[in-house]
A and B are shown apart, each in its own frame.
Chain A
Amino acid sequence: MIGQITSALMAILFAVGGCALFFVGANVLLDRTLSSRGHMTDLQRQQRDSLRESIRPWIFIGPAVALLTIFLVYPVFKSLWLSFHDANGESFVGVSNYQWALTDPEFRISIRNNLLWLLVVPTLSTGFGLLIAYMTDRLWWGQIARSLVFLPMAISFVGASVIWKFVYDYRGTQGDQIGLMNAILVAFGLEPQAWISLPFWNNFLLMVILIWIQTGFAMVILGAAIRGVPEDTLEAAQMEGASPMQMLFRIVIPQIVPTIVVVWTTITILVLKVFDIVLAMTNGQWDTEVLANLMFDWMFRGGGDFGRGSTIAVVIMIAVLPIMYWNIKRAREDEQ
């Protein structure tokens, strides 16, 4: 154990030191080889200067570009290519992987569930986030309340799954329920249920976990936006006798629509990639399969079907494309 800690520390030193050494070394090397000191004409000096300074940006950005290319850009094209090939990526099979996807019952269930997730999770996370941010804005214990709601953001999806699986726990009809949800039901005289294996509704129980995690994110971003709403518009509305809810819907929300959209899209992207929760809670059983988990499954199922796995990844990618386009467009507008 001590050995592993030492080697981990060594690895950190080695990796970070190696990176630092690269940057320092490359810059020093550039300064040496293309030095503009010594005997030369002004023209030569200028040429050297400009050559040197046109190379330097690529030293700065080179490692990043290389890593981005290997780990993100190349894989996008490779996945696309693989999706038109068979399980081992050896022979071209046309669109048959996509045809398989359209008729595969698991894939269809996944599409249905992903649509449900996309509909429910961003809406409720943003909704709860907005509500809590607005209600705690001027509460004397608002800061504490916000911190507590924010806390689940630090918890891993697997950890959160354990937490909620415990809430949903079912003990049969004998003995006390130790799951909070069934205990509350029993207290109201209702029948306890094995919630996780109850098709269709169990999807919503899995969604609750992500909503629980993401509401804090929405709350923080929207809270900052709410604080940016001009004081005088709120005061004017209060003078007119508007209720707090009217003020939220008529004054606050219209002024923070762009932020709401950003929060919404950020959570949407996250939802498309949701994997850990489904794997940990049900592994797709009882009709809870989603695309990301199905993809993971096909990566290894029967020795791994890279064609079908890639096809599912491409489907997820296509769903992200509109958001990607919109993000780039907005970033370019910001630059101007």
Chain B
Amino acid sequence: MKKKSTFSFSLILKHLTVLFLVLIWTLPTLGLLVSSVRDKDQLTASGWWTALVTTERNEVYRTPIADEQVAVEGGWRIYMPLFEAGSDRSIGSWGLRADEIGLNLPGDKVSLDDGSAISVLESGELDWFSETPFTHTRGIRVFVDARIPPRFTFDNYREVLASEGVGQAFINTLTVTLPATFIPILIAAFAAYALAWMDFAGRHWLLAGVVGLLVVPLQMSLIPVLQLYNQVGAILGVPSKSYVGVWLAHTGFGLPLAIYLLRNYMAGLPREIMESARMDGASHFDIFLKIVLPLSIPALASFAIFQFLWVWNDLLVAMVYLGQGVEKIVLTAQLRELLGSRGANWEILTSGAFITIVVPLVVFLSMQRYFVRGLLAGSVKGG
């Protein structure tokens, strides 16, 4: 009996621990997503976890001066709506001193020393009445507890897409990513087949070389390739920062993993198929095109997802070889730019960040199976 109760206690503990960990891993992203659709004033006034409840904010207003009084029956009146027309805000309480903000309810009348009376309605309308004309040249301050109901909007997205250059950057990223995903697949597939099934001198050295290149840090290539591009640009009279340059760079940097993954997969295909095809007189080219390539589609898909995510999310290669011009800047670089220039505008940053991560997230979620398979092939088997 005792054994059983400790068992279920540890089970609850296990559920709670996993739940806690999952929350840590999801809350930051959830916060971004929620914040990106909040009204930008609310976003800076209260935490995103309060997005669904009415926020209260202490605000201070100053009444108009005597010039704006109007004569009414029995006296003089100063009127001012505290909130903009059409606002859904309301007044929770109000007062005439900062420490008396909770003193009066909406609609209460407060008499001043000069015999006038002031009141603030729930709708935020301030009404100040006096039997004698007002003479003050400086308005008095009114402290209110403004209640702001939750408000969600896509304005942040509209703004960030149109005027912060994120829309253009999205197209630029797409222009970089698609060719930089497909070119290496094609080149690597041929190379992987050769390494797996063709017999030639130096095959083992090449394979060892590919495994070695897998871990060469990108940093080693940055400067020499940049110099190379500058020279080529100068000789051919073309700009040294170009989409072609970025595609080639991503292809070069992605090839080791591509060749490695595809070779491992192709080497695992049954030998008998190849041999019987050889017997029938098929050339290596035919075997590759008609047998190996169709059979390798799962591995091709795995690598395609890797490369797609890597290129889409890359900042370094794009910054060095594509630059920061408006017509070429990619999403990640644009987002970093916004972090610098609009660092305090969370409505821009959250919606901008979400736009940069939404495509990889969709690809990732819909093709997780292939991605996991690729991960396992890349790290558990060998290398």
Contact = CB atoms under 8 A, between A and B. Distances in A.
B375 A156 contact: no
A255 interface: no
B6 to A, nearest CB: 9
A155 B223 contact: no
A58 B223 contact: no
Interface in A147-165: 147-159, 161-165
Contacts of A128: 21
B217 A68 contact: no
Contact of B219 (A53, A177, A273): A273
B315 A157 contact: yes
A163 B32 contact: yes
Given A61-B195, A296-B222, 4 more contacts: A75-B220, A157-B332, A159-B335, A244-B10
B383 interface: yes
Given A71-B252, A73-B213, A244-B10, A79 B224 contact: yes
Interface centre among B206, B259, B352, B353 (most CB of A within 10 A): B353
Chain A residues touching B, range:
35 or more
Given A56-B198, A244-B10, A299-B222, A162 B335 contact: yes
B279 interface: no
A145 interface: yes
B271 to A, nearest CB: 15
B313 A156 contact: yes
Contacts of A229: none
A151 B222 contact: no
B333 to A, nearest CB: 8
B171 A4 contact: yes
Interface of A: 1, 4-5, 7-8, 11-12, 15-16, 19-20, 23, 27, 31, 53-54, 56-61, 63-65, 67-68, 70-76, 78-79, 82, 89, 128, 131-132, 135-136, 139, 142, 145, 147-159, 161-167, 169, 175-180, 183, 212, 215-217, 220-221, 224-225, 243-244, 259, 262-263, 266, 269, 272-273, 275-276, 279-280, 291-292, 295-296, 299, 306, 309-310, 312-314, 316-317, 320, 323-324, 327-328, 330-332, 334-335
Contacts of A323: 215
A332 B208 CA distance: 7
Interface in B328-358: 332, 335-336, 339, 346, 349-350, 352-353, 356-357
Interface of B: 10, 14-15, 17-18, 21-22, 25-29, 31-32, 35, 43-49, 167-168, 171-172, 174-175, 178-179, 182-183, 186-188, 190-191, 193-195, 198-200, 203-204, 206-228, 243, 247-249, 251-253, 255-256, 259, 283-285, 288, 309, 312-316, 319-320, 332, 335-336, 339, 346, 349-350, 352-353, 356-357, 360-361, 363-365, 368, 372, 375-376, 379-383
Nearest to B200: A57
A12 B208 contact: no
A78 B224 contact: yes
Contacts of B252: 67-68, 70-72
Contacts of B309: 153-154
A215 B25 CA distance: 9
A230 B73 CA distance: 93
Max chain B C-beta neighbours (<10 A), residue from A155, A221, A272, A312: A155
A196 B287 CA distance: 57
A12 B315 contact: no
B73 to A, nearest CB: 43
B173 to A, nearest CB: 10
Contacts of B352: 162
Interface centre among A155, A156, A335 (most CB of B within 10 A): A156
A220 B372 contact: yes
Nearest to B21: A132
A71 B171 contact: no
Contacts of B46: 176, 178
Quick one: which of B346, B365, B379 has the most chain A CB within 10 A?
Answer: B379
B31 A71 contact: no
A300 to B, nearest CB: 9
Contact of B356 (A5, A75, A159, A180): A159
Contact of A54 (B18, B200, B381): B200
B14 A147 contact: no
Contacts of B353: 158-159, 162-163
